[in-house]
Amino acid sequence: MLGVFISLLMALCGNIYAASVHPSRTLVLYDERLDQLGDFSRFFDNLKEREYDMHFSSANSSARIDLYEGEHRLYDNLVVLPVKGKQVNKLIPVDLLLQFYNDGGDVLSVTDPAAVCDSVRLFLNQLGIYPSPRGYELVDNVKENLVFGPNELKNYHIHATKGDKSLFVQNASAALLDNRQQLVPILAAPRTSFTRAAGKDAWTVGSQGFLAAGFQNLNNARVVWLGSVDFLKDAFYDNNGEFAQELAKWVFREKNVIKSLEPTHSHADGTTYETLPYKIKDIVVYEIGFSEWNGKKWQPYIADDIQFELRMLDPYYRLTLKPGRKEEQVQYYTTGEFNLPDHHGVFTFQTDYKRDGFSFVVQKDVRAIRNLAHSEYARSSEISNAAVYLTGIFAVIFAWIIFIIFFITAPPTIVKTVSSKKKNN
């Protein structure tokens, strides 16, 4: 119980001081046979400057790697540097990685052509990221080393190049990506490159391969995979340091994090649904607020592509929201006044905002829209084209009355009787 209390206290402190909206407890798993922590000092120092609570564990030590204490998650972020050996599969099995991620933990995974841990590979495969097998290396037909410019960067929300500085690595592997909405391609392989191994078919060819990719699940936990440890090493940090830090900010939720306030909707005059439930053709107004985390505080989120849907099974309306009132931390968006459809039933007032690189926002509110009561239908006198039918009705009534009057007042008809007598000859 004491350990759980201390962990909760650390999480609270992490929320207060760290630059991320996510708590800052971070475990770094490395293999000292492949890399030394001193090779990544600049990368880890940048994280510590942003108040991350760093913990380090060697994959080939005898110590256990505990991500949980009972059902309580001990860490909020996990960094897995290149590791190899069957022991790692027992220390962090794929089921544990998936549980950690599904519980809201963020994962930064780095593989290497010579070190692709099976449990990490299977974990990435579950997300639709397929790194090349062990022994495959990405090579360029034109250049001796791998150089990446602006054309290879696929998501400027995560990282946009500044100036002429290019990314540079020596050893790397590439991955194939599945076609999923939650996948975020970040860095593509050069068009003149391919991933090869001696005596085997190429794993990727040209820009179909990727050296960096992200994944964000529906609870907004994030994963980033890197195909080269050179992105994080001090030896290449002058070229790659900004890129590495931008990836770390994204995966640990320091940037591109948005949230929404609980949406509201009401009648045009401000009467709430609870006071007066909606009926067909009512005029209503929908409003929702958005905020974005800038690394220090929440600020208004400005966009022109936020949409509202009124759904039953399919959308009856899909309206682009317009900016409304603005507060210090929130930008509100509204539909303005619109008429409910001429159809009663159970409808969903929904805002589903999912953009590559940004956290997902889904807000739903289910409400019933009733039909009109008998006394609420418009009277005949209020319907403009009812005159034709009313005229026809009164014409028939008037004709019937005239007929009755003529029938009653008309003189009796004298009918002459003709007697038939038998003629005698």
DSSP string, 258-283: EEEPPPEEEETTS-BTTTS--BTT-E
In the chain, domain spans? 2-255, 258-375, 378-408
Cβ proximity of 346 and 368 under 8 Å: yes
In this structure, what are the phi and psi dihedrals at residue 288, rounded to the nearest 5 degrees?
A: -145, 145
Name the token pair of 49: 């400057």
**Kind of pairing, strands 307-311 and 298-300?**
unpaired
Cβ proximity of 183 and 127 under 8 Å: yes
Could you report the per-residue pLDDT of 138-186, keeping only the tens digit for each? 999 888 789 998 889 999 889 877 656 789 999 999 999 999 989 999 9
Cβ proximity of 240 and 153 under 8 Å: no
Choice among 60-64, 108-112, 133-137, 417-421 with the minimum mean pLDDT: 417-421
Pick 331 or 408 by higher pLDDT.
Answer: 331
Q: Which CATH number fits domain 258-375: 3.30.465.10, 3.30.110.40, 1.20.1050.140, 2.70.50.60?
A: 2.70.50.60
Total Cβ atoms within 10 A of residue 42:
16
Question: Cα torsion for 322, 325, 331, 332, to the nearest 10°?
Answer: -60
In this chain, the answer to whether the domains covering 2-255 and 258-375 adopt an identical fold is no
Pick 141 or 383 by higher pLDDT.
Answer: 141
Pick 1 or 270 by higher pLDDT.
Answer: 270
**Superfamily classification of domain 2-255:** Class I glutamine amidotransferase (GATase) domain (3.40.50.880)
In this structure, what are the phi and psi dihedrals at residue 18, rounded to the nearest 5 degrees?
A: -70, 160
Could you report the per-residue pLDDT of 235-262, keeping only the tens digit for each? 999 999 999 999 999 999 999 999 999 9
Task: Report the chain's mean pLDDT, rounded to a whole number.
Answer: 88
Q: Which residues are paired to 308 by β-bridges? A: 319
For helices 94-102 and 118-127, angle between their N-to-C axes, nearest 10 degrees: 40
Q: Can you give the pLDDT at residue 399?
A: 95
Q: Could you give the percent of the chain with pLDDT greater than 70?
A: 91
Could you report the per-residue pLDDT of 272-299, keeping only the tens digit for each? 999 999 999 999 999 999 999 998 899 9
